């Protein structure tokens, strides 16, 4: 499966995977994330249920706090 992740083409052996599986595969474990799947914001509660397929566009952003 080929998707666009943060503007870069990425290839994965699976035909589909959840957003949670993508985060685990890419070792993304930041606390505060904003994820857009084909232009739609995805809530954390939906990471397991949201399935990625060939050609999807994913944006993963990390929020940082501090002063």
Q: In the prediction, which pLDDT does 67 show?
A: 59
All domains of the chain, ordered by start, with CATH? 2-62 (3.10.20.30)
pLDDT higher than 80, residue 64: no
Q: In the prediction, which pLDDT does 29 show?
A: 86
Mean pLDDT of the chain: 93
User: Which token pair is 21?
Assistant: 């599986």
pTM exceeds 0.75, yes or no: yes
User: Which token pair is 38?
Assistant: 């084909």
Cα dihedral 59, 10, 18, 58 in deg (nearest 10): 20
**pLDDT, mean of residues 35-52:** 97
Q: Is 46 helix (H, G, I), strand (E, B) or coil?
A: helix
Read off the pLDDT band of 57 (50, 70, 90). very high
Cα dihedral 37, 15, 3, 21 in deg (nearest 10): 60
């Amino acid at each position: 499966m080929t998707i666009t992740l943060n503007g870069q083409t990425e290839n994965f052996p699976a035909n589909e995977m959840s957003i949670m599986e993508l985060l685990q595969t890419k070792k993304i474990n930041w606390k505060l994330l904003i994820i857009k799947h084909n232009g739609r914001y995805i809530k954390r509660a939906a990471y397991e249920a949201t399935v990625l397929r060939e050609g999807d566009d994913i944006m993963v952003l990390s929020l940082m706090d501090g002063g």
